[in-house]
Amino acid sequence: MLQAAQSATVNESEESGFAQELLTFTLGAEEYAIDILKVQEIRGYDAVTTIANAPSFIKGVINLRGTIVPIVDLRIKFAVGVAEYTPFTVVIILNIGGRVVGMVVDAVSDVIALKPEQIRPAPDFASSVDTAYIMGLGALGERMLIVVDIERLMLSSEMALVDDVVH
Amino acid sequence: MAIDMSQFYQVFFEEAAEHLASMEALLLAIDPGAPDPEEVNALFRAAHSIKGSSGTFGFQDMMEVTHILETMLDRVRKGEAPLTDDMVDASLVSGDVLKNLLAAHRGEEEADREAAEAICHRLEALCRALDAPVPVPVTAPPAATPVTGFDLFFSLVGDHAAEAECLAHLIAELGSFGAVETIEAPGPGSPNCQLRIFTEVDAEVLRGVLDFVADGATLRVESFTGAAGDNEAYGFFGDLDEQPTTEWRTSDDAYGFFEPLPAVSSAVVEEAYGFFDEAEVANLLTRQQAAEPYGFFTELPPLDDVPVETAYGLFEPVPVAASVQAAAPMAPKVAEEAPAPVPSPVVAKKPSARAVGAGDSGSIRVSVEKVDQMINLVGELVITQAMLTQAASNVDPVIFERLINGLAQLERNTRDLQESVMSIRMMPISVVFSRFPRVVRDLSQKLGKQVELKTIGETTEMDKSLVERITDPLTHLVRNSLDHGLETPEKRRAAGKPETGTITLSAYHQSGNIVIEVGDDGAGLNRARILAKAKERGMAVSDAMADQDVWQLIMEPGFSTAEQVTEVSGRGVGMDVVKKNISAMGGRIELDSMTGVGTRITVRLPLTLAILDGMSVGVGLETYIIPLGYVMESMQPERGMMKSVSGVERLIQVRGEYLPVICLHDVFRIQGAITDWSKGIMVVLEADGQSAALFIDQLIGQHQVVIKSLEANYRRVPGIAGATIMGDGRVALILDVPLLVSMARRVLPAAA
């Protein structure tokens, strides 16, 4: 059924041509989607050096081919899933306006294209994530994708990744 | 869309700054009594180039100053007036004024209009003093009959859509010289343009104006033949009668080539603008060479046409040499006069005075960013190579002999590669030293002292970022030596020393450091006075202190023993700032002095800011790097050494001194660290004159580490100065020792 839904999406997007490509990943039982153009690469979780006095969701920094890159565990930040680290733990490396940041997720699912009409506005509700960072909810058959404005989220003061609040 | 001249501003600024620098160097080197004609020519050319370009870009103020300066230099150049000390002084001052104006146009400084006016008056007075009236056309010699006008052929550079605008600007600019007539305006199909100007100014002046808008390859300035007879020459060709041939040959203008020819009735003057990098000029050259023979030879009336090549690259040494080479194939007549390998003799005669700019021969300008990226990548390569070597250390060397050999070779190659890449960022220290002759000259005049400046080891190389940061502290040290160190000629004579004092600047490499010494043969530091002053200020000093410790006192904030505050120094701010700046670069400063013999200040700096000597220490599972410069000693504390204050052990007694203890695992909240004092290690740190003991688990080793920014992708972390990548590819954080030490003083963290 899932597959059917996916291929349906692909066909629809080919027709409309205005679809946005999104990378989807899971955190616990939830499915999230982010703009694929912000993604630099996907790699394993390895050799993280902790940073003193950082919030718990900032795991530390890694050496990404000579660049020092901070790693954020979204599972801790969003309080979903179990934050355990195995050889299969996945890190999505994002490139946001020249800044490189890695985020730990449970699993990367696939790349899908969503047309604007498939993204519904998110109602205001209380959650561990500020709804300001949620661009909308993508409906894909039975699945609900939480489309996150990853750039805004990562640069927010909440994430404590940048010195001063950019926005 | 108008041509936005501001897009060329940056190039103009750089060029003008270079010309000013070479002008200053020439002025300092020149001997007014017997000036080398080559040097005078070079001076004139520098002034002329600045004038031409500032005029084109509409920097009227700069043009005014250079115009008068150029007029004066021109008289000297032609031997009409002798060069005097006063002229050299005035030229130096005008150089300063121009620098100020340039900075003002860049938006960095306030323009000092008064100084500009003052120097204009001074230069004008000097010009008037040279009996004969100063001709307004700069290079028009009195002997020559001026031609009535010129035809200008050129095509415009850049965006064709903007040509009409550009042309309008140009005509307005040319209008200041005389009436302008447009004969052929550029159309969509042809960028060519022909203008006729009725003027008495020199062709060179016109070319100066056109250089910036016209494509150099197509630019021609031809005398407007109507009134010019067969034997009439251009303004500047008239010079030939007055100047010895050889001088012209050696001059960049290369006019001399044509001197042996019969009088010239018409000349084709070629000039390219060296306004762009050498690389681009080189391109231009190739294009020009490819384009020979020049089409326009045939267009001309059947006169003795002589193409004249003037300097490419606004008279920069390298492109000039190239242009001479380029000129050779283009001017067959030249080849007859001087056989084929013309370039080499001409180039060989390049005056030694050009040594100033000779350093950048055959260089390319690359952004520092690109170099840094390359250094990063090579650093990665070294780590990868280390990983491979480690992985291969377990294999059987007999079976995998070729693999092992290959890896050994890889290691050598990567090391060589790393060295040569690092050397790209290195600059000779002469860049810094070269500014001191001027500093010394001005100051010694002001102070009425006779000083000779000696520089040793100018070719010693150091990192570019250090070069930029060492200049100010070093200038301060030299000024100090001049003001406080050296005595007046009378005192020196009385002391039986030569009247002329010596300041020696030397630089050399010593065990991975660069050492810069500023020495003088002056009176030396006065021990008694320093001690008296220190007591007066309530410092803890004793008469039994070692000399070295006494000398260090002068680097305390606000410490000055100068009897009177002079314009130069003596306010007591300075040495402490120098010391602070140098420690910020990871360097040290030492003083040696002997009464009556002199003082020597030694500055030791790491070769580069990008690499740091560090001690790696372990706390829990974490590894940290302590910059070695801050580490005084390390020891295993015994229980008795720990002293408690208000129930918490927070002091350690080391050789009679009580030092505050910083527990790294507390500060950084590290789990699983050793908390028993007697099982860990204390590292005594000193920063900004304060000491503290850092408690850690273990010492791991000593490494040279490459400093990486943590802030590039993350934010500032208190207590962390940066990050580095260890041999195994892991990230280790570098401790911010000054902050940790001051933290220990302010808020003492709770002990374990």
Looking at the fold, whether B215 and B102 belong to one and the same domain comes out as no
The pLDDT value given to residue A41: 92
Please give the mean pLDDT across all residues of chain B.
71
Cα separation, B11 vs B5, whole angstroms: 11
For A5-157, strand residue ranges (E) read: 20-27, 30-35, 39-44, 58-64, 67-73, 90-96, 99-105, 107-114, 119-120, 134-140, 143-148
The pLDDT assigned to A100 comes to: 92
pLDDT the model gives residue B187: 56
User: Which residues in chain A touch residue B624, judged by CB atoms under 8 angstroms apart?
Assistant: none
- pLDDT of residue B684 exceeding 80, the answer is yes
Residue B144 lies in a domain: no
**pLDDT at residue B145 above 90?**
no
Which residues does B299 contact at the CB level (< 8 Å), separation at least 6? none
Considering only CB atoms, B713 lies closest to which of A54, A99, A160, namely A99
Which tops the pLDDT comparison, B256 or A92?
Answer: A92
Which residues 84-113 in chain A show a CB within 8 A of chain B? 99-101
Confidence (pLDDT) at B683: 92
At residue B452, the 3 state secondary structure works out as strand
Say whether residue B715 is in contact with chain A using an 8 A CB cutoff.
yes
Indicate the range of B39-48, B190-199, B369-378, B528-537 predicted with least confidence: B190-199
- The answer as to whether B342 is a domain residue is no
Residues of B in contact with A50 (CB under 8 A): 622
Q: Which range is least confidently modeled, A94-103, B336-345, B514-523, B725-734?
A: B336-345
DSSP H or E run through B392: helix B368-392
For A62, nearest residue in chain B (alpha carbons): B731
Q: What is the mean pLDDT of chain A?
A: 80
Quick one: A59 exposed, middle or buried, by C-beta within 10 A (0-12, 13-18, 19+)? buried
- Strand (E) or helix (H) holding B588: strand B588-594
Contact (Cβ atoms closer than 8 angstroms) between residue B123 and residue B90: yes
**B356 belongs to a structural domain:** no
Q: What is the pLDDT of residue A103?
A: 92
Q: pLDDT (tens digit, 9 = 90+) per residue, A103-162?
A: 998 889 889 888 888 888 877 776 666 777 888 888 888 888 888 888 888 888 777 787
Measured between CA atoms, the residue of chain A closest to residue B710 is A68
Are B119 and B216 members of one domain? no
For B385-410, write each residue's pLDDT tens digit. 877 887 888 888 888 889 989 998 99
Question: Is 70 exceeded by the pLDDT of residue B364?
Answer: yes
Whether the per-residue pLDDT at A18 is higher than 80: the answer is: no
Residue B341 lies in a domain: no
Residue B244 has pLDDT above 70, yes or no: no
Listed residue (B239, B220, B195, B211) closest to B51, CA to CA = B211
The domain tally of chain B equals: 5
From B358, B390, B424, give the residue that closes a domain: B424
| Model confidence band, residue B673 (pLDDT cutoffs 50, 70, 90) | confident
The tokens describing B24, both together, are 């200053």
Asked if the model's pLDDT at residue B474 lies above 70, the reply is yes
Whether B80 shows a pLDDT value over 80: the answer reads no
What confidence tier does A40 reach under pLDDT thresholds 50, 70, 90?
very high
Question: What is the structure's pLDDT at B609?
Answer: 67
| Chain B residues with CB-CB distance to A163 below 8 A | 711, 715-716
B22 and B111 co-located in one domain: yes
B622/A61 Cβ within 8 A: no
Following DSSP, what letter does each residue of B498-557 receive, concatenated?
-SSEEEEEEEEEETTEEEEEEEE-S----HHHHHHHHHHTT----TT--HHHHHHHTTST
- Measured at the CA of B430, the angle between CA B253 and CA B279, to 5 degrees, comes to 45
Residue A163 near chain B (CB below 8 Å): yes
- Please give the residue range of the domain that contains residue B543: 428-606
Cβ pair A160:B710 closer than 8 A:
no
Superfamily of domain A2-159: CheA-289, Domain 4 (2.40.50.180)
- Cα radius of gyration (chain A): 16
User: Cβ distance B53 to B368 under 8 Å?
Assistant: no
Neighbouring residues of B479: CB distance < 8 A, sequence distance ≥ 6: B439, B443, B568, B569
B436 plus B416 within the same structural domain = no
CATH of the domain at B35: 1.20.120.160
Judge whether residue B539 has pLDDT over 90.
Answer: no
pLDDT above 70 covers a percentage of chain B that reads 64
Q: What pLDDT, on a 0 to 100 scale, did the predictor assign at position A93?
A: 93
What would the mean pLDDT of B491-515 be, rounded to a whole number? Answer: 85
Q: Count A/B contacts: CB-CB distance under 8 Å.
A: 71
Name the residue of chain B whose CA is nearest to A159's CA.
B714
Same structural domain for residues B215 and B116?
A: no
Per-residue tokens: A20: 């946005």
CB atoms within 10 A of CB B104: 18
| More confidently predicted of B497 and B607 | B497
**How close, in Å, is residue A59 to chain B by CA atoms?**
12
Task: Report pLDDT digits (tens) over B552-604.
Answer: 888 777 676 555 445 455 444 577 788 888 887 878 888 888 888 888 999 98
For residue B507, being part of any structural domain is answered with yes
ipTM over 0.85: no
What is the residue extent of each domain of chain A? 2-159
- Whether pLDDT at A23 is above 90: yes
Q: For residue B59, what pLDDT is reported?
A: 80
Banded pLDDT at B546 (limits 50, 70, 90) = confident
Q: Is residue B138 part of a domain?
A: no
Q: Is the pLDDT of residue B16 over 50?
A: yes
Alpha-carbon span B299 to B309, nearest angstrom: 19
Q: Are residues B161 and B295 in the same domain?
A: yes
Comparing B309-318, B636-645, B655-664, which segment has the lowest mean pLDDT? B309-318
Write down the H helix ranges in A33-117.
74-77
Of the two residues B720 and A3, the one the predictor is more confident about is B720
B733·A163 Cβ contact <8 A: no
Residue B749: per-residue pLDDT: 45
Question: Do B628 and B592 lie in a common domain?
Answer: no
Is the Cβ pair A53, B669 closer than 8 Å?
A: yes
Q: Which whole number is the average pLDDT over B341-368?
A: 51
Q: What per-residue confidence (pLDDT) applies to B528?
A: 83
- Domain contains B580: yes
Which residues on chain A are in Cβ contact (under 8 Å) with B668?
A: 52-53
pLDDT of res. B608: 67
Distance CA B328, CA B340 (A): 8
B638 at A interface, C-beta within 8 A: no
- Give the amino acid at B529: R
Range ranked top by mean pLDDT from A40-44, B27-31, B650-654: A40-44
Which residues are B705's β-sheet partners? B612
Q: Is residue B401 part of a domain?
A: yes
Indicate whether B584 and B440 sit together in one domain: yes
Helix (H, G, I), strand (E, B) or coil at B307: strand
Distance from C-alpha of B66 to C-alpha of B356, rounded to nearest angstrom: 21
A49–B729: do the CB atoms touch at under 8 Å? no
Shortest distance, CA A44 to any CA of chain B (angstroms) = 14
B701 in the same domain as B615: yes
Radius of gyration over alpha carbons of chain B, in Å? 33
**Shortest Cα–Cα distance, A34 to chain B (Å):** 20
pLDDT score of B239: 41
Q: Please report, for the domain that includes residue B491, its CATH number.
A: 3.30.565.10
**Residue B237 confidence (pLDDT) above 70:** no
- Point out the domain boundary residue: B129, B164, B194: B129
Q: Which of B98, B129, B160 is the endpoint of a domain?
A: B129
**B166 and B292 assigned to the same domain:** yes
Q: Tell me, what's the pLDDT at B7? A: 64
DSSP A52: T
What are the chain B neighbours of A101 within 8 Å (beta carbons)?
Answer: 713
Note the pLDDT of residue B10.
72
Residue B297 at interface with chain A, using a CB cutoff of 8 Å: no
